[in-house]
Amino acid sequence: MSETSSVVPESHIDILEKKGFAHVATIGPHGEPHSSPVWYGWDGHELSFSQTTRRQKYRNLQKNRLIALSITDPDDPYRYVEIRGVVDRIDEDPDYAFIDSMAKKYLDQDVYPWHQPGDHRVIVRVRPEHVTVQ
């Protein structure tokens, strides 16, 4: 196992470019851990995922921006990337461009098929501060 701070090692960048699931861990309102899988995007510096403002993850991040994400290589479950960091910012996604891009990546569909009336979508941008790989 190797560790590095603030950047993902070149040997594991491929995991972030695949169609894996990031298991996102946040801290709940009473200090309890909260974890759930999400689709994600990687731009070389930040990991991003879509969220509705009705979800517990979003509410947790309003109070505490510390976050951890674990992503297993879909082609080799013994390889993974764990990213611990902080939510740098939460951007609006009013036209659903980001979630639609995730639908294209994960489902090969141009439009996210599970839009719900009244959904207010945002893009959570995570800045890695500590990375562990296997």
- Return the higher-pLDDT residue of 1 and 8: 8
Number of structural domains (the chain) is 1
Q: Which domain holds residue 104?
A: 2-133
For 76, residues 6+ apart whose C-beta sits below 8 A from its C-beta are: none
d(C-alpha 79, C-alpha 106), whole Å = 20
CATH number at residue 46: 2.30.110.10
pLDDT digits (tens, 9 = 90+) for 69-91: 999 999 999 999 999 999 999 99
Q: Cβ distance 67 to 126 under 8 Å?
A: yes
The yes-or-no verdict on residue 129 having pLDDT over 50 is: yes
Tokens of 62: 């309003």
pTM surpassing 0.95? Answer: no
What percent of the chain stands above pLDDT 90? Answer: 88
pLDDT digits (tens, 9 = 90+) for 104-113: 999 999 999 9
